Structure 1
């Protein structure tokens, strides 16, 4: 078994983190705030959004996205591949396991992390 799913997920997380950092400009922006149809992006305010859209945009400020990326990376690292090949602890099962929960790899947690990216052109076909 190879780590193509992990490579794919790390690439997507890198993209999200990079975009969040670029949206934050000089790093002076913290939390984006919605007020009615306006989103305050710290450096500029934009109006004309539907209030629900404004709240949605504000909720995805760069600082929050970076925290979310870091949390997903920790989950990804916990659920690493534990290869059955050469493992004397598991001579009874010739299967690759998740080192965190012992489930067949990739475990459900990794597949759940990948789910939002299924429409990405590089998504590994065997995990669709």
Structure 2
């Protein structure tokens, strides 16, 4: 499990950002819900159960794009340690996360990947490893 989980997460975040970007996330404003109606800025759509309308409005494109950016910053912090072959460092013989020193891939990356567990490219060992660390 080298950088596979990082590549997987980058691909998923790119997919989510692309889709949100196609929904005019930057120009529209915030989606809102009122009862069974979702205001998508350009049009209102009714007929939702009020709870579903609130859920849809909560995932407006601008918010999704902010979430993607936050997750990309987490990925940027959690990288494989460059400490390979440095005898001064105690973790020389194992792969570690540079951010937290955990075995690679670290729990934070596995937690991020868990939200995509239904994706066909998600690997079972990521889920089983993550479940063991709880």
Q: Do Structure 1 and Structure 2 share a fold, with TM-score over 0.5?
A: yes
User: In 2, Cα distance between the equivalents of 1:42 and 1:92?
Assistant: 52
Which consecutive segments of 4 or more residues in structure 1 shift more than 6 A?
none
Tell me which residue corresponds to 1:22. 22
Tell me which residue corresponds to 2:102. 103
1:88 Cα shift? 3.4
Residue by residue, what CA displacement relative to the aligned partner does 1:45-95 show, whole Å, maximum 9, x if unpaired?
000000000000000000000000000000111111115532333256411
Unaligned runs of 5+ in 2: 128-134
Tell me which residue corresponds to 1:12. 12
- Contact kept? 1:83, 1:95, Cα under 8 Å: no
Change (3 A) 1:46 1:66: same
User: In 2, Cα distance between the equivalents of 1:41 and 1:92?
Assistant: 51
Change (3 A) 1:49 1:101: same
Q: What is the root-mean-square deviation in Å for CA atoms of aligned residues?
A: 1.7
- Contact kept? 1:37, 1:50, Cα under 8 Å: yes
Unaligned runs of 5+ in 1: none
| TM-score where L is the length of structure 2 | 0.87
